[in-house]
Amino acid sequence: MELSLRDIITVEPVIGLYMMALNLQTPVLQQVVWVKSCLSMFNQTFCGGLEKSDDVEIQNAVQSQASIWILANMISLTLPSIIITVFVGPWSDRVGRKVAMILPMLGGCLMSVNLIFQSWWIQLPWYLLLIGPFISGFCGGFATILLSVFSYLADVTSEEVRTKRMGIVDAVNTLGCTVGLLLGGVMADNVGYVPVFITCSVLQLVAILYIIFWLKNPTPVRQRTTSLLNVDPTEQKGACLQFFSLSNIKKVVQICTKKRPNNRRLHVNLTYLCLFLSALIQAGVAEVGLLFVKAEPLKWSESLYGYWQAAQNVIPSVTLLVVMPFLAKRLPDTALVIIGAVSFVAKFEVMAFSSTTWLMFCAAVAGAFQYLTLGALHGMISKLVDSNEQGATFSLMGVLECGSALFSSLIFNSLYAVTLTFFHGTCFLLMATMGFFIIVINVCQEWDQKPQWVSPSLQDSDDFDNRKTALIT
């Protein structure tokens, strides 16, 4: 059957627009927090020239207060997001994925509107900034976008193409991040804060309209009790009441605890462990990367670090778009994870011992295949669970993604401070070790599952002799 354009282009623009808006907004939000921190201590005239001032003590005082406020913003966004995500996934298994996509877009749009007011009236108290993150968090945030996008793909794709499609989404995700980060600084310097936040709100409104008018309602994996976008009001009320049902939490927990044939419960848990380690590594680079390159012997400027960030994001994203469709047809998912993890290990080994700029950019090239890991893991986890568990499955994944940011900050910032004096590349050696564990886990999974992957028909057969003959031949 020939596919239409709406079957080929589905959730990729959703994740691209959301991540572009999020990363366009985040660094500029930090600048707004810095300005508000200064204004809470000094007048506007003094704060206007503080960045060029040589008074290190005052600058440190402002930065210290700004860092606390930035942490408060992150907690206000992350904790509600984790809680809501646990409920949204199983709920979307019943009511559909489109509403689960719209919720965080709406929350992000309202957060951008709040930031428009906060930037226009910069003298407003800083704690009013927390309104936006709270709203965005209680609408699901980044974690809910991830679960809804990947659950939608699990609904509309066959297992043969699912890993490839999820890999493409991961690549678009990273490209959206990169474009947002590059545009954010340029726009803030040239047109000010307010246009940046207006752009963010427009991007998310466009994404909402795209979801409503372009995305098809996927054929349900089983008969859903309702769909919020196409039911009468009484059914909508019933679906809304189901949102905070404790059965949603139970369903998420059962993803890791229920008995499954052929050691699949063990493989589910090992795959989640690999997802967590992979997310921890990614967050770790963001935590200590800038500190590492600004120290001796590299002593980079922030603009050079921005170029390196773009390189380390774009190179593996392009590789993923080009290589994943080819390899996904020829290799099992575990092999793709191993290839990506080897690339991870090589990248961080080079980074740990980098003393020159060219070595750091060589590390970015060494990591060209690193995103194969994430794309393949997303495909693996969706194939290990039942079709009516996709939302709950990716709910747990979203929680792990959010949790990794908090754990990463505790682990890598603390380790960097302790090891700075004798070897400040220690954090990257730890990341390489985590990549090695991902390799070992997936070698074991490949070894254990290989006989089961020969043919689905053989898996269901009760004839052991036929299965044995097929394996030998």
CA distance 332 to 166: 14
CA distance 69 to 75: 10
- 216 Cβ contact partners less than 8 Å away, ≥ 6 residues apart: 6, 7, 10, 156
Residues recorded for the chain: 473
Q: Which pLDDT tens digits describe the chain residue by residue (473 residues)? A: 567 888 888 999 999 999 999 988 887 887 788 788 777 776 666 676 555 555 567 766 776 777 677 778 878 888 898 889 888 888 888 778 898 999 999 999 999 999 999 888 888 887 888 899 999 999 998 889 988 999 999 888 888 888 889 989 988 998 998 888 888 878 887 888 899 999 999 999 999 999 999 998 875 444 444 444 444 444 444 556 566 677 778 888 889 998 888 888 999 999 999 999 998 998 888 778 877 887 888 888 767 887 888 888 899 999 988 888 888 888 899 999 999 999 999 999 999 999 999 999 999 999 999 999 988 999 899 989 888 888 889 888 888 888 887 788 778 878 888 888 888 899 999 999 999 999 999 999 988 876 544 333 334 444 434 443 333 33
CA distance 289 to 281: 11
| Tens of pLDDT, residues 265-288 | 999 999 999 999 998 998 888 778
Going by C-alpha positions, the residue among 407, 344, 337 that lies closest to residue 375 is 337
Amino acid 195: pLDDT: 92
Which residue do the tokens 């495909």 mark? 379
- 34 Cβ contact partners less than 8 Å away, ≥ 6 residues apart: 62, 63, 66
| Tens of pLDDT, residues 64-83 | 777 677 778 878 888 898 88
- 182 Cβ contact partners less than 8 Å away, ≥ 6 residues apart: 306, 310
Going by C-alpha positions, the residue among 102, 100, 114 that lies closest to residue 151 is 100
Domains, the chain: 1-221+234-241 (1.20.1250.20), 255-453 (1.20.1250.20)
CA distance 53 to 61: 13
Report if pTM > 0.95: no
- How far CA 184 is from CA of 27, 28, 318, in Å, comes to 7, 6, 22
R_g (Cα) of the chain, nearest Å: 23
Could you give the angle at the alpha carbon of 42 between the alpha carbons of 37 and 48, nearest 5°? Answer: 80
Which residue do the tokens 């998912």 mark? 333
